[in-house]
Structures are given as C-alpha cells and as structure tokens.
Amino acid sequence: MAAVLFMEHLDGTILVTAAPRIAADLGVGSAEVGLAMTVYLVTVATFIPVGGWLAGRFGARRVFCTSIVVFTLASVLCAASGSLPALVAGRALQGLGGALMVPVGQLVVLRATDRRDLLRAIAWITWPALLAPVLAPLLGGLLTSWASWHWIFLVNVPVGAAALLAALWLVRDVETERRPLDAPGLLGATVTVFGLVAGLQLVVDPRWAPAGAGLLCAAALSGAAAVRWLLRSAHPLLDLRVYRIAGYRAANSGGLVYRAVVSSVPFLLPLLFQDGFGRSPVESGLLVTAVFLGNVGVKPATTPLLRRFGFRAVLLGSVAGGAACIAAFLLLTPATPLWLVTALLLLSGALRSIGFTAYNSLQFADVEPGRLSSANTLSATGAQLATGLGIAVGALVLQLATTTAPAGPEAGDLFPYRVAFAAMAALLLVPLLSVLRLPPGTAAHVAGRLPRAAASRRAG
C-alpha cells in the first residue's frame, strides 16, 4: 500500500522539472505542459469520493487491483504519447486509477488493522505523502537528464506489476455492501471537488483567473447543496456525521490547514533556492532532499513519541515547531552557511513527518468500523484538496508579493519568498489553536497510554 501511494503521489508533481524537455519534444510551450499536471490532480480529486462506494459494491480487493492495472497501463500510454492531447488523455486515465487507489487502499489497511496497531500501520502509509513531493523534482530531473522524459512514466510499470502481484496475494476481501448509489450526492461532491481543485489551479494564472473564480463560486454553491442533501439522505455517499467525533473533526479541520501549509513548502523552497539564491536545479534538488532525510530519519521515533507523550502534546510540538521552521526560512540569504540551511531543512522534515503521522492516526482513532468507508473517503478527498490549496495559496501570495517587491536586486529577489513563508507560518496558527482545544487524553487507547487514574488503579 505504501509503495502504491508513493507512486501515485510522485506522479502528481514529477512533471515539474521535466516540463521543458517534454515541451521541446512535443513542440509546445512549457506552460502548456502544465495542463498535464493539472488534469492529473483534478482527476484524482474528482473521482476519490466514488472510490468508497465502488469498494463496498464490488469488493475492495477487486477495485484496488483494477485501479493498479488502470494506473500502470495509463503510465505506458503517457510514455508513448506523441502529442500534448495524447499526454493529457493518458494523464486523465492515470488520475482515475490513482483516485481509486488512494481511498480503497487505505480502507483495506484500516479494516485489517487492530486499534492497538493503528499507529504503526498509519506510520507506514503516511510516508508516501511526505516523501513523494520532495523527491519528485530531483527524481524527475535525474531521469530526464540521464535517460529521457518517457522514463518518468515507464518506471511505474515494474512497480505497478509488483504491487498487483502483492495485492492479489496479500489483500483479503471483505463482505460487500449492497448500498444503492447516492446519485445526487455523487453529482454534488464531484462538481464541488472538481470546481475547487480546478479553480485553485486556474485562479493563480492571470489569463485564467476569471474562469478559476467562476469555478470556485460554482463549487461553493454545489458544496452547500451537497451538504444539505447528504445530511438528509437515508444512504448518503459520504456520511458527514463522522465530523461529530472530536478527533476526526480536529484532524480534518485544523489538520487540513496543516496539510496545506506543509504541501506548499516543497513547492516554495526550490523556487527560493533557484530564483532567489541563484543555485542550479541540481543544487536546489539536493538541498530539498534534506527534508526527505528528516522525514525518514525520524520515522522510527514517531510511534514511541506518541505513546510517551500522547497526541495533544506531540501535535503541539510538531505544529509549533513547524511554524518556527517556516518562519526561520525568512532569515535565509545566499550567504547563509550551507550546514545551517541543511540543518533547518532536516528539522523541518522531521517535524512534518511527526505531525502527519499524528494527524493521520488521530482521525481514525474513534471511528466505528461501520463508518470507516465514509470517514476514509472524506479524509482522502480533503487531503487532496489541501495539497492543491497549499500550492495554489503559496503561488498566489508569491505572485502578489512579486508585484509589490521593493527596489534593489537582493531585496526584490527575496521579498516575495519572505512574504510567502510569513503567510504560511501565520496559517499554522489555525491548527495550533485547534490542537489546544483537544483534551489531554485524546485517543489514549490508540497511543497505548492509560489515563492517570486508570494507571493508579492498575498499579494498586
């Protein structure tokens, strides 16, 4: 499951560094190649809500294996593309496969995991979302430089084949749910998610800003109507009542803001290092890899930290520490010692890894088995929206700050990035306040921690 999620997240952003080479090969502009990345992200987000229903209707094992096949075959079509329309079509099909892999794969893991092992399982399937956006620019650049852009997609073939064999061998199916399809709920959720993701992608481009704003307005209206319907439906596609669970609500309200901010950092850092500091793409990619090392290095400690200090304390530390790291990026200059920049990136990566694992574990801690499907689908959709929102907000702030940058070469080069990082650090106050409202013993049964009174009774 972790390998499949890594593959899906990687393909969401790996085209960034390969765009110029693909554009030259297909005879189009680099900006036009961005459409292939946008189509992928929009398709993934749009079709996530139906994944849970398909898994219940046809079986999680069958849908999960089918999604791997679709994603792998679509990767071959992308590699064989001889024109931009063919590449965009292949990416749309790839996004469809990825949209089903995300919620269905996570649902398989959640249903097969005992609450006592939830932390360990979530830690394993969390790292793809952390590592893929950080490694994608470097990996895309290396594959494009050493081989050709086609290998960005062809590397998915052996991974997809191995994942399919593993899924057929390891994944056990569960009893299907003969639940009718909530067509109005599906339509409302699809229009809402499509409008939000597509609107966020377009609104940052001055040429498409009016269309993006229109899509966002349509998404708001459709979202209001969809919520009204889902709360009244006898068999809703998405059971919004899971938001009454305190841990789930905290992880999918303030937690979504945290995910958005964390997703914006791998987007802003390479731009800072290349455009602000004048470093090469390879140097920039190597520096950002320090975030990846921090993610991996702290991973064995995340579960022990949660068991020792509990969710509330760990989340407070990771969110506050993450805000401090992002604020520290404001002070970086081309003259900052390389060891200090690397140390700051390592610390930032470690804190985001701890925060992601804590949020992902907290949201399912108190969800009953019967609501896991809806809770998981809502969470996966929200996470995808948060990623798009984080990148879109970061790009928008960067663009607005560039137009108001002061005179002078160094000040003008660094000012937009300082404004963007200041905005991201300030946004982390939202999840920080949300965490402060959590009771100290939140999800203690998942963390393996006993309340003090219970511990005293057991000791007596």
Helix, strand or coil for residue 428?
Answer: coil
- Dihedral sign (CA 80, 86, 88, 89): negative
**Residue 412 pLDDT greater than 70, yes or no:** no
CA distance 58 to 229: 25
The 10 Å CB-count burial string (b at 16+, else e) for 2-29 is bebbbbbbbbbbbbbbbbebbbeebeee
Per the listing, tokens 């649902």 go with: 107
The single-letter code of the amino acid at 94 is Q
CA distance 423 to 346: 21
The 10 Å CB-count burial string (b at 16+, else e) for 269-301 is bbbbbebbbebebeebbebbbbbbebbeebbee
The 10 Å CB-count burial string (b at 16+, else e) for 81-115 is beebeebbbbbbbbbbbbbbbbbbbbbbbbeebee
**Residue 353 pLDDT greater than 80, yes or no:** yes
Amino acid 327: pLDDT:
93
Per the listing, tokens 């009953």 go with: 368
Would you state the structure tokens that stand for residue 230, as one six-digit string?
A: 């889902």
Tens-digit pLDDT profile for residues 16-56: 667 767 888 888 776 677 678 778 877 887 788 887 778 87
- Long-range pairs for 303-309 at CB < 8 Å and ≥24 separation? 303/119, 303/120, 303/123, 303/357, 305/354, 306/119, 306/357, 306/358, 306/361, 306/447, 307/119, 307/447, 307/448, 307/449, 308/449
Between 411 and 301, where is the model more confident?
Answer: 301
Question: Stretch 278-307: mean pLDDT, rounded?
Answer: 81
Residue % of the chain over a pLDDT of 70: 89
CA distance 6 to 99: 13
Question: What is this structure's pTM?
Answer: 0.76
Is residue 22 within 8 Å of 87, Cβ to Cβ?
yes
Tens-digit pLDDT profile for residues 61-93: 889 999 999 999 999 999 998 888 899 899 999
Question: Stretch 360-376: mean pLDDT, rounded?
Answer: 79
